[in-house]
A and B are shown apart, each in its own frame.
Chain A
Amino acid sequence: MNASPTHGFINHLVVYTLVLIGLSGSVGLGAVWLRHQISLAANASRVLDARIADVERNLAETTTAVETERDPNILLRRDTEWHLGLVPPNEAQIVHVNEDPVMRLAAKRNRAVFGEGPGQVAVAFPLAAQR
């Protein structure tokens, strides 16, 4: 027995409706999955941001701790505690060369070359000195 045209139409309608619902559902699920992936990515990004901020915070803390330890008063205390005996240099330890060191060294060398001693006349070469 052949189906009437009405039944055929209804059957098609039901099938198409189910297919449409299925497709819509799939698209919906796909969208949900996509949004979930976006959410995961956004959360991962947020976690990374937080971790970077944590590292920066720890870095700042460490830098502050290091700077605190470099305070002159603390260094002096450490010097005492650890018996290092470090002291700043003083004037008595330093010999000032109150003349041009190049000329001084040159004169010293020339004295050795020419055997200049007491009673000998010092000879100057102004042009050489100007160079």
Chain B
Amino acid sequence: MIFRKELKEALAIIDNMLVAVQKGIPARGTTGVEMRRVIGNFQANEVELVESFTIGTELFNCFEQARIAGATLDTMDGVREAMIAEQPLFDFGKAAKLSGMLFSFVEQCTLISKMVFISRTDVEAMMIRMNKVIDALKLEVSELMDGMDYQAMTKLAAILVQHLAVTERKLPQIVNYTMPKVRSALSLSNYFYGDGGRFVELIDENKIINPVFFTRDIRVLSE
């Protein structure tokens, strides 16, 4: 009887995890079709996967497919929050919770490794965000982990911080400017960068609707 409860608890945690993973990805259409197939397969064969000891492999595959389908950092934050809310009583459930949190962090790191940052400010914001994630992970799952898992997680966290620090060093800074009068994007691009062709960067950075009338308070790159 107790085994049935343990299995039920773990599978419920995993189902919640998979609901959170799919958030933000269209539920129909060609986008994410492979993810839906993999997750559907997983949910149909959960018990068999437990019996064949391949539930971890297939669950990670679901996360990978979700990332490929367009899951974002926010999606993975959602997974982690859902996992933090879980309070499993049995070991299998605890392992499921731990894996969910670990997989969400892994996917976030993979997403970051492929990101293109424009300015130091972007990287700093990412660093602050990910530091919170790392702290939360250490707080929540360190007692559930064995030595090898903990080492793998801290190594990933260290390489993430190193990657962000190295990326930051190569980028220009964001500088805030207040112009004396309203000017167009083209003239501002020429004024700041000596190159009218970079007006799109200014529009994107300042979220301008009409590029002829730029706001007076603007953010520009230092280079």
Co-complex (A, B): no
Residues of A bordering B, CB below 8 Å: none
